[in-house]
Amino acid sequence: MFLSRLASAALSLILAGSAASAQPATQVVTVWSFGFAPHPIHLAAGRPVTLVFVNRSGSSHDFTASAFFANSAIAAGDARGGEIELRGHQTKSITLTPRRGTYPAHCSHFLHSQLGMNDLIVVD
């Protein structure tokens, strides 16, 4: 009886550990007028990640990366049109599994890209 309980407890710990390790990594992408951080964004190919976009600005911005989102398997969240649209001080998340490659990103709002809102996503 004692060994059965011990084995059950050990199995529970193992399963809890594997469930925790199955959680996607989190990468915060900070957005402001007129930039993104980190710069560049480094991700691991084939590994799930939750990208958390935090707009520190009171103005709206977007994170447009059409090729990146098209080449990623999106599990949760939305990047309709290849972009994440953010109102002032808004935070949005998307969980995806990226494919290897180097992808450009920018804010598509008028003149924002020209004012420095460009980034690069490097997936190794």
CA 123/CA 103 separation, integer angstroms: 8
Least confident stretch, 12-21, 29-38, 62-71: 12-21
Residue 93 amino acid letter: S
Q: What is the tally of structural domains in the chain?
A: 1
Q: What average pLDDT score do residues 61-85 get? A: 98
pLDDT digits over 85-120, tens only?
Answer: 999 999 999 999 999 999 999 999 999 999 999 999
> 119: domain CATH number?
2.60.40.420
Residue 51 covered by a domain: yes
| Prediction pTM value | 0.82
Q: Give the structural domain span for 85.
A: 23-123
**Mean per-residue pLDDT for 16-36?**
82
Q: Is the model's pLDDT at 70 over the cut of 50?
A: yes
pLDDT of residue 124 exceeding 90, the answer is yes
Distance, in Å, from the CA atom of 105 to the CA atom of 68, rounded to the nearest integer, reads 8
Asked if residue 1 is part of any domain, the answer here is: no
